[in-house]
Structure 1
Amino acid sequence: MRAWRENPAAARWWHLVTVLVIAVSLIAQLVLVIQGTNVLVEDGEEAPSTAMRVVNFFSFFTVQSNILLGAGAAVLAANPRADGRRFRVLRIAGLIGISVTGVVYVTLLRGLVDLHGVAQLTNLGFHYLSPLLGVIGWLLFGPWPRFSPRVLVISLAWPVAWLVYTLIRGEIVDWHPYPFIDVGDLGYGRTLLNSAGVTVLLLGVGWLFATGDRRLGDRAGSDDVSRTR
């Protein structure tokens, strides 16, 4: 672990690859969205306007999680030891979001749509590669410690705001990004229950990152102290 942590060149390359995977996936999928040949338009269903499709695309938790993770990785590609209050919130929000994205997709959403070609590749980038790159990159390179309880609480404001936005917008445009929060099909009771389950998952994942951040930071500090003796 120490050898990886002390290799800023390797850290920069890892974070840069993370940014590139996310950027390519976002751009490629956005092109499909604009063309109307994507999973947002079901077979036999009339496609909404281009503007509506684009807004729908950026309303996915998956897309927002990838953007946050990519933004944090871009900062770290420039400075692997980056710090600051805003960076800390951005970093843990991206890590929590992308981890929940991967878990929810694999356990609940995988197999709901039949993907081919470019859409299959972007799906691989969004739901498999970016979660693995994000979490493994954090384990190998940190930086830690960065996540206090206050930072964790602030970072959770984003998924809460996303959920409120999704439910309100869903009522207006009759569209929900995921079947487990589709009020039209499930009703508010089941939707809120599912939302509570996702909230528990977010809290659990956040606690894991905060705990791991503290322990990895303590270990890194112990290594630094031992080398000065």
Structure 2
Amino acid sequence: MKIARSWFGLTALVVAAGIVVQLVVTAGDTGGLFPSTAARVANVFCYFTILSNLLVGGTSLLLALDPDRKSTVFRTLRLDGVLAIAVTGVVYHVALAGLVELSPAGAVADQLLHTVSPILGVLGWLLFGPHGTLGPRIVWWSLAYPLLWLAFTLVRGAITGFYPYPFLEADELGYPRVALNCVVIAVLFLALAAAAMLLDRRLPRLWSRA
């Protein structure tokens, strides 16, 4: 239990450090679509990466304080955090890494948010759970986060012209292609959630035999 709480605490600390560094870097970057510091800083929280880190970091912090949390809301947020941070790490390293030149501080934030926190978040769930808490209802509820984020991002993009990721740029790709990309993301997230539910039922038995 002590090791688990320490792991969760470390995960939360890494997330906090990565987001703070990213905010400092963004505040000092005068280029881009948003001219004011406040607008640039606020825009940081429109990225799936940042929100996913907040989810996994926030739920990890709560587990570090009290590992016995079992409410439906918490279980949904925990699953969202683990799945979203896994998707963040995979998509970044497969499709997005190297597209933007980073400052030294930006590279630090990049590694913390796209590599270290995904590793800590996923391994933390595999090793320490909590397990045996997921069911179909939690899986379906977990879709709310990515779907709401996609809807918000597309509406905001249509208004401001800003899209956080290339595969959502409706102005260049067109809405049919972006809609297909959104469907793929939703199906991927649902498949991962279902796989996590099945794995969640087996992990307690596997660890008990170890």
**Which bin holds the TM-score, normalised by the shorter protein?**
over 0.9
Q: Does 1:19 align with 2:12?
A: yes
Q: Which amino acid aligns with 1:18?
A: T
What pairs with 1:56-205 in structure 2 (closer than 5 Å)?
Answer: 56-205=43-192
1:133 CA displacement: 0.2
Q: Does 1:32 align with 2:19?
A: no
The C-alpha deviation readout for 1:85-128, integer Å capped at 9, x for no partner, is 12101100101110111111111111111223110011001110
**RMSD between aligned residues:** 1.6
Moved over 3 A (4+): 217-220
Cα distance between partner residues in 1 of 2:75 and 2:28: 37
Cα distance between partner residues in 2 of 1:55 and 1:165: 14
Cα distance between partner residues in 1 of 2:163 and 2:61: 30
Q: Which amino acid aligns with 2:19?
A: L
Q: Which amino acid aligns with 1:103?
A: V
| Structure 1, gaps ≥5 residues long | 1-7
Q: Which amino acid aligns with 1:20?
A: L
Question: What is the count of residue pairs matched by the alignment?
Answer: 209
The C-alpha deviation readout for 1:122-156, integer Å capped at 9, x for no partner, is 10011101110011111111111111110111121
The C-alpha deviation readout for 1:184-228, integer Å capped at 9, x for no partner, is 1111111111112212221122122111111113446xx4xx9xx
Report the identity percentage. 42
1:46 CA displacement: 6.3
| Structure 2, gaps ≥5 residues long | none
1:165 CA displacement: 0.3
